[in-house]
């Protein structure tokens, strides 16, 4: 018997009976089963019901061995499967073998004798199985590849990275057709794979992400336990090394310089410095510090989160004439340390930043923030009220010139000497009219008039006793004729425009040179 085998070891159930026939054939009556088709069926076995013994003869039995046939048989001729023989068959050619069941007559046939006299079976039907044996006709496959995975850099040798699993459609219970062995086709010496489990592991020490980040590892699965002639399939595992903090921050150089004008504003950035870190993410975050007290007193430093630069900010005003240079000792340190790599470095670095203060041509500076001066009223024109002083803060010490700002809507009462800064009156002052005068004095450098400073000056006009007291009523006094002697008929008050010191201590009396009226008297209440 011959058969076209399937891809696994699959049993095919057939039934066989034989009938007695007339003796006309002279050949040996053993039955040969052959396969007529190249497609042996793989369904479940089927049997015929109603097995009965037709002839009442002594108990007989079938004689055969287990039959096997290879799948995928290719060839023009039918494939021989095996011989069947019953002990009732005497070999006289009187027996006809009949094959029934799954594939009988199509996939499997049996060589029958002819010239049958009777169609009555000599034996009841009996079942036998033809097993289709698997051959290695399926290569291992990775159904879900290619794969993507990660592993931390600097991982120890043997660290598990990923597991691949190949499938093989051949029969795993028969031979080695489906026994898969894994190997690395591409990716050595960095990674290895367990030949049995498909677990990929690191195979090289100190794999550095900063040197190489991505790896494409090609894994092969070969059946037949890896023997010669086995079929194979492969897949790619793309492995990325993830970052760990194994690199310290590093300043590209040890000494830096920056120029800052003395006019720089407090609280504003005046310079930047940067340490490089080959790590990424939080492993590259840096904190900057100013170590020396003098530098920390004048400047502060913070970290720009986007650029990871150290931004230097001015804390106090600069003065070129007082200090022309500062030296800042700056450190850069990682904020997220990994103790596993503490042996590599202290994970900090330092550098020196020299800040040169630039001279700026500044406007004059007055000796005071504001001035208060005094002058008596009615002082003669040109009387000195006071003086202001200003100086050029720059090293060249340019001469200063003074001016009074004029306003068209105000009368001019004062003038200033442009060189000395002395302020004088330009007309008589009346305290009772304007007791206070507010003016603004401007100072400029002689060689650069565009540089100006301003200061407020307040002039108080002091009082002199230049106003007589005045009776504050001019009403007529009306009295009745019945008024008694000594009765108060009117109270008289007086005012003085001068200040309290000069306008107090009034005394009342009838004016001299006027005849006294005997009917009236005046009492001074002081």
Question: How would you write the pLDDT of the chain (526 residues) with one tens digit per residue?
Answer: 434 333 344 555 565 555 554 434 333 444 555 655 444 433 333 444 444 444 444 444 555 556 666 666 666 777 777 777 677 667 776 777 777 777 777 777 777 664 456 666 766 777 777 777 777 788 999 999 899 999 999 999 999 999 999 998 887 877 787 789 999 999 999 999 999 999 999 999 999 999 999 999 999 999 988 888 789 999 999 999 999 999 999 999 999 999 999 999 999 999 999 999 999 999 999 999 999 999 999 999 999 999 999 999 999 999 998 999 999 999 999 999 988 888 888 899 999 999 999 988 889 999 999 999 999 999 999 999 999 999 998 878 889 999 999 887 788 999 999 999 999 999 999 998 999 999 999 999 988 888 899 999 999 999 888 778 887 777 777 788 777 887 887 777 778 777 766 666 667 777 777 777 777 787 777 6
Residues paired with residue 148 on neighbouring β-strands, in sequence order: 238
User: What burial class does residue 332 get, using C-beta atoms within 10 Å of its C-beta: 0-12 exposed, 13-18 middle, 19+ buried?
Assistant: buried
Q: What gap in Å lies between CA 223 and CA 182, rounded to an integer? A: 9
Q: What gap in Å lies between CA 328 and CA 255, rounded to an integer? A: 10
Write down all domains in the chain, each with its CATH number in brackets: 1-20+61-133 (2.60.40), 147-242 (2.60.40.60), 255-358 (2.60.40.60), 365-462 (2.60.40.60), 467-525 (no CATH)
3-state class (DSSP) for residue 358:
strand
Q: What gap in Å lies between CA 301 and CA 457, rounded to an integer? A: 42
Q: What gap in Å lies between CA 256 and CA 287, rounded to an integer? A: 18
| Burial readout 295-327 (b: 16 or more C-beta within 10 A, e: otherwise) | beebbbbebeeeebbbbbbbeeebebeeeeebe
At 155, list the tokens. Answer: 């991982």
33, 198 in Cβ contact below 8 A? Answer: no
| Burial readout 418-441 (b: 16 or more C-beta within 10 A, e: otherwise) | eeebebbbeeebebeeeeebebeb
Inter-residue long-range contacts of 49-56, CB under 8 Å, 24+ positions, other chains counted:
51/124, 51/125, 51/126, 52/124, 53/123, 53/124, 54/120, 54/121, 54/122, 54/124, 55/120, 55/121, 55/122
Q: pTM here?
A: 0.59
328, 312 in Cβ contact below 8 A? Answer: yes
Q: Which residues lie below 8 Å from residue 8, measured CB to CB, with a gap of 6+?
A: 42, 71, 132, 134, 170, 171, 174
Q: Alpha helices, DSSP H only, in 398-498?
A: none
Q: What is the pLDDT of residue 138?
A: 85
Nearest CA to 29 among 118, 95, 81? 95
Nearest CA to 289 among 238, 245, 330? 330
Phi-psi region for residue 75, left (φ > 0), alpha (ψ -120 to 50) or beta?
left
How does DSSP classify residue 368? S
Q: What gap in Å lies between CA 204 and CA 185, rounded to an integer? A: 16
Q: Alpha carbon of 278 to those of 55, 215, 283, 305: distances in Å?
A: 96, 19, 9, 16
Q: Which residues lie below 8 Å from residue 210, measured CB to CB, with a gap of 6+?
A: 153, 247, 278, 279
Q: What is the pLDDT of residue 101?
A: 79
């Amino acid at each position: 018997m011959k058969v076209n085998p399937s891809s696994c070891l699959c049993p095919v159930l057939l039934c066989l009976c034989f009938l007695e026939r007339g003796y006309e054939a002279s050949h040996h009556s053993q039955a040969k089963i052959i396969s007529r088709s190249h497609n042996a069926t793989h369904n479940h076995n089927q049997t015929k019901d109603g097995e009965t013994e037709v002839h009442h003869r002594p108990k007989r039995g079938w004689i055969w061995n287990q039959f096997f046939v290879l799948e995928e048989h290719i060839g023009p001729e039918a494939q021989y499967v095996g011989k069947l023989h019953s002990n009732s068959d005497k070999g006289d050619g009187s027996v006809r073998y009949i094959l029934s069941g799954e594939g009988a007559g199509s996939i499997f046939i049996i060589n029958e004798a002819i010239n049958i006299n009777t169609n009555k079976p000599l034996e009841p039907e009996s079942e036998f199985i033809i097993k289709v044996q698997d051959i290695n006709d399926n290569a291992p496959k990775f159904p879900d590849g290619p794969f993507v995975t990660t592993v931390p850099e600097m991982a120890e040798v043997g660290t598990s990275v990923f597991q691949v699993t190949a499938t093989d459609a051949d029969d795993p219970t028969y031979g080695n057709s489906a026994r898969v062995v894994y190997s690395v086709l591409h990716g050595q010496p960095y990674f290895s794979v367990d030949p049995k489990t498909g677990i990929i592991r690191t195979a090289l020490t100190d794999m550095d992400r900063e040197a190489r980040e991505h790896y494409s590892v090609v894994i092969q699965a070969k059946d037949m336990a890896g023997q010669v002639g086995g079929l194979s399939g492969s897949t790619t595992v793309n492995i990325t090394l993830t970052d760990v903090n194994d690199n310290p921050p590093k300043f590209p150089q040890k000494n830096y310089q920056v120029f800052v004008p003395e006019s720089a504003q407090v609280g504003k950035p005046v310079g930047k410095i940067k340490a490089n870190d080959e790590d990424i993410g939080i492993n590259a975050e840096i904190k900057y510090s100013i170590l020396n007290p003098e530098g920390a007193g004048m400047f502060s430093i913070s970290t720009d989160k986007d650029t990871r630069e150290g931004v230097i900010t001015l804390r106090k005003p600069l003065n070129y004439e007082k200090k022309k240079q500062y030296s800042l000792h700056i450190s850069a340190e990682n904020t997220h340390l990994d103790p596993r790599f503490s042996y590599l470095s202290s994970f900090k670095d330092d550098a020196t930043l020299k800040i040169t203060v630039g001279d700026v041509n500044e406007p004059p500076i007055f000796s005071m923030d504001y001035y208060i001066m005094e002058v008596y009223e009615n002082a003669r024109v040109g009387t000195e009220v006071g003086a202001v002083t200003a100086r050029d803060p720059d090293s060249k010490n340019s001469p200063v010139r003074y001016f009074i700002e004029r306003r068209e809507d105000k009368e001019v009462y004062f003038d200033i000497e442009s060189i000395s800064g002395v302020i004088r009156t330009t007309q008589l002052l009346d305290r009772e009219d304007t007791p206070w005068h507010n003016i603004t004095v401007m100072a400029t450098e002689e060689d650069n008039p565009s540089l100006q400073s301003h200061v407020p000056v307040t002039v108080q006009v002091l009082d002199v006793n230049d106003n007589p007291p005045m009776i504050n009523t001019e009403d007529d006094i009306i009295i009745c004729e019945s008024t008694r002697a000594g009765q108060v008929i009117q109270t008289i008050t007086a005012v003085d425009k001068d200040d309290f010191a000069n306008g107090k201590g009034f005394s009342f009396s009838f004016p001299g040179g006027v005849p006294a009226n005997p009917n009236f008297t005046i009492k001074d209440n002081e």
